[in-house]
A = this chain, B = another copy of it.
Protein backbone atom coordinates (compact mmCIF):
# COMPACT_ATOMS: atom_id res chain seq x y z
CA UNK A 1 0.00 0.00 0.00
CA UNK A 2 1.75 3.13 1.23
CA UNK A 3 5.38 3.77 2.06
CA UNK A 4 6.14 5.04 5.55
CA UNK A 5 2.48 5.31 6.67
CA UNK A 6 3.51 6.29 10.20
CA UNK A 7 5.83 8.99 8.95
CA UNK A 8 3.08 10.40 6.73
CA UNK A 9 0.57 10.31 9.63
CA UNK A 10 2.98 12.42 11.70
CA UNK A 11 3.85 14.92 8.96
CA UNK A 12 0.24 15.54 7.91
CA UNK A 13 -0.89 15.76 11.55
CA UNK A 14 1.87 18.30 12.28
CA UNK A 15 0.85 20.41 9.27
CA UNK A 16 -2.87 20.37 10.21
CA UNK A 17 -2.36 23.41 12.43
CA UNK A 18 -1.89 27.02 11.27
CA UNK A 19 0.65 27.86 14.03
CA UNK A 20 2.80 24.85 13.19
CA UNK A 21 2.64 25.72 9.48
CA UNK A 22 3.69 29.27 10.39
CA UNK A 23 6.73 27.84 12.24
CA UNK A 24 7.67 25.67 9.23
CA UNK A 25 7.19 28.71 6.97
CA UNK A 26 9.56 30.77 9.17
CA UNK A 27 12.13 27.96 9.34
CA UNK A 28 12.10 27.41 5.58
CA UNK A 29 13.65 30.91 5.39
CA UNK A 30 16.47 29.82 7.74
CA UNK A 31 17.21 28.47 11.24
CA UNK A 32 15.77 30.32 14.25
CA UNK A 33 15.95 30.17 18.02
CA UNK A 34 12.87 29.19 20.03
CA UNK A 35 12.40 32.78 21.22
CA UNK A 36 12.64 34.11 17.63
CA UNK A 37 9.98 31.58 16.62
CA UNK A 38 7.77 32.53 19.58
CA UNK A 39 7.98 36.29 18.94
CA UNK A 40 5.31 36.66 16.20
CA UNK A 41 3.03 34.02 17.77
CA UNK A 42 0.34 35.20 20.15
CA UNK A 43 0.74 32.44 22.73
CA UNK A 44 2.75 31.41 25.77
CA UNK A 45 6.25 29.93 25.43
CA UNK A 46 5.07 26.51 26.78
CA UNK A 47 2.42 26.45 24.03
CA UNK A 48 5.07 27.21 21.39
CA UNK A 49 7.29 24.45 22.84
CA UNK A 50 4.38 22.01 22.58
CA UNK A 51 3.96 22.85 18.89
CA UNK A 52 7.71 22.42 18.37
CA UNK A 53 7.53 19.03 20.07
CA UNK A 54 4.86 17.90 17.55
CA UNK A 55 6.98 19.24 14.67
CA UNK A 56 10.11 17.48 15.96
CA UNK A 57 8.14 14.27 16.52
CA UNK A 58 7.03 14.33 12.88
CA UNK A 59 10.59 14.80 11.63
CA UNK A 60 9.75 18.16 10.02
CA UNK A 61 11.92 20.12 12.44
CA UNK A 62 15.23 19.39 14.17
CA UNK A 63 16.78 21.41 16.97
CA UNK A 64 20.10 21.63 18.77
CA UNK A 65 21.12 23.41 21.94
CA UNK A 66 24.30 25.44 22.26
CA UNK A 67 24.66 26.94 25.73
CA UNK A 68 21.21 28.21 26.65
CA UNK A 69 19.98 28.74 23.10
CA UNK A 70 17.99 26.08 21.26
CA UNK A 71 18.14 26.59 17.49
CA UNK A 72 15.58 24.97 15.19
CA UNK A 73 15.79 24.18 11.51
CA UNK A 74 13.47 22.58 8.98
CA UNK A 75 14.10 19.04 7.70
CA UNK A 76 13.05 19.02 4.07
CA UNK A 77 13.18 15.19 3.74
CA UNK A 78 9.89 14.78 5.68
CA UNK A 79 8.26 17.57 3.68
CA UNK A 80 9.39 15.88 0.47
CA UNK A 81 7.89 12.51 1.50
CA UNK A 82 4.49 14.09 2.02
CA UNK A 83 4.77 16.17 -1.15
CA UNK A 84 5.66 13.04 -3.15
CA UNK A 85 2.61 11.20 -1.80
CA UNK A 86 0.35 14.06 -2.98
CA UNK A 87 2.11 14.37 -6.30
CA UNK A 88 1.67 10.63 -6.98
CA UNK A 89 -2.07 10.83 -6.25
CA UNK A 90 -2.43 13.80 -8.58
CA UNK A 91 -0.42 12.03 -11.31
CA UNK A 92 -2.68 8.94 -11.09
CA UNK A 93 -5.73 11.20 -11.34
CA UNK A 94 -4.33 13.13 -14.33
CA UNK A 95 -3.35 9.93 -16.19
CA UNK A 96 -6.94 8.78 -15.70
CA UNK A 97 -8.25 12.07 -17.14
CA UNK A 98 -5.81 11.79 -20.09
CA UNK A 99 -7.06 8.29 -20.90
CA UNK A 100 -10.65 9.54 -20.66
CA UNK A 101 -9.75 12.46 -22.96
CA UNK A 102 -8.18 10.12 -25.53
CA UNK A 103 -11.23 7.87 -25.40
CA UNK A 104 -13.55 10.84 -26.02
CA UNK A 105 -11.31 12.25 -28.79
CA UNK A 106 -11.35 8.87 -30.55
CA UNK A 107 -15.16 9.05 -30.57
CA UNK A 108 -17.68 6.40 -29.82
CA UNK A 109 -16.37 3.12 -31.41
CA UNK A 110 -19.93 1.87 -32.02
CA UNK A 111 -20.87 5.03 -33.99
CA UNK A 112 -17.61 4.90 -35.97
CA UNK A 113 -18.23 1.31 -36.99
CA UNK A 114 -21.74 2.27 -38.18
CA UNK A 115 -20.30 5.20 -40.19
CA UNK A 116 -17.71 2.95 -41.84
CA UNK A 117 -20.33 0.38 -42.89
CA UNK A 118 -22.41 3.15 -44.55
CA UNK A 119 -19.53 4.63 -46.61
By the criterion CB–CB under 8 Å, are A89 and B18 in contact? Answer: no
By the criterion CB–CB under 8 Å, are B21 and A85 in contact? Answer: yes
A interface size (C-beta, 8 A)? 33
User: A17 and B9 in contact (CB under 8 A), knowing A79-B89, A80-B90, A87-B83?
Assistant: yes
- Mask of A1-20 contacts with B, CB within 8 angstroms, 1/0: 11001001110110111100
Closest Cβ of chain B to A16, distance in Å, is 4
Residues on A facing B (Cβ under 8 Å): 1-2, 5, 8-10, 12-13, 15-18, 21-22, 24-25, 28-30, 74, 76, 79-80, 82-83, 85-87, 89-90, 92-93, 96
Closest Cβ of chain B to A63, distance in Å, is 16
